[in-house]
Every structure is written in structure tokens, then in C-alpha cells.
Amino acid sequence: MSEGINVTEQNFEDIVQKSDVPVLVDFWAEWCGPCRMLAPVLDELAAEYGEKVRIAKVNVDQQPGLAARFGIRSIPTIILFRGGEVAEQMIGMQPKENLKTKLDTLM
């Protein structure tokens, strides 16, 4: 896997909540500069972790229901899920090493 999985309201449960590995969900939008800066970092993480972690992306403009469900007010917002439950939430551009530390803790 080399890039994030696009998540919608229809597939959220299967991709995120039923996952047997930790899931990093990136809430983003195309017009968001920091979101575009974060995208290649997430692609690198997806390549490095392979099947151990799932990287998912939610476009808040296309999926306003999911954004509302998780109270997304700023983007990028990253929510880490373990066992289908929210384990951690981060707002804004995150350094790769910070994300790696959080993911390693969830594994």
C-alpha cells in the first residue's frame, strides 16, 4: 500500500471501525495547504508500515457527515483508531516522527 484509502460514510465502518490494525484517518480538503503538505508524509508512512497500519483519508468537503460526526473544525485533523475506537486526535500539520511515535504506541 502506498497511499491512503479514501473513506466515505458508506465504507467507514468496514475500513476503520472493523479494522484489525490501527487506522490513521486524515480529515482534509483539496484547498487546504497544510493538508497538501501532510499528504506525502502519510504516503511515506503507508509505504513504511505496509499491512501493520491502515492510512485512510476523509475529504471533508465530500463527506460532511463524517466531519460532523467527529467534530472536525480545523483541517488537517488526524484521528487514530484502535479497535474501532478513537485512541488519539491531532490537529494541524504533524511531523513524520510524531506520527510514527503515535502509531508505534498503538501497535
SS3 letters for 29-89?
A: CCCCHHHHHHHHHHHHHHHHHHHHCEEEEEECCCCHHHHHHCCCCCCCEEEEEECCEEEEE
Q: What is the mean pLDDT of the chain?
A: 95
Residue 52 lies in a domain: yes
**Residue 93 is assigned to a structural domain of this protein:** yes
Residue 1 has a pLDDT of 36
pLDDT at 3: 67
Q: Given this model, what pLDDT does residue 2 score? A: 44
Which member of 5, 21, 29, 32 is catalytic? 32
Catalytic residue among 23, 24, 35, 46: 35
In a domain, 51, yes or no: yes
107 in a structural domain = no
CATH of the domain at 23: 3.40.30.10
User: 45 catalytic, yes or no?
Assistant: no
88 assigned to some structural domain: yes
Domain extent for 13: 5-100
pLDDT under 70: residue ranges of the chain? 1-3
Number of domains in the chain: 1
Tell me, yes or no, if 84 is annotated catalytic: no
Predicted model pTM = 0.94
pLDDT of residue 4: 81
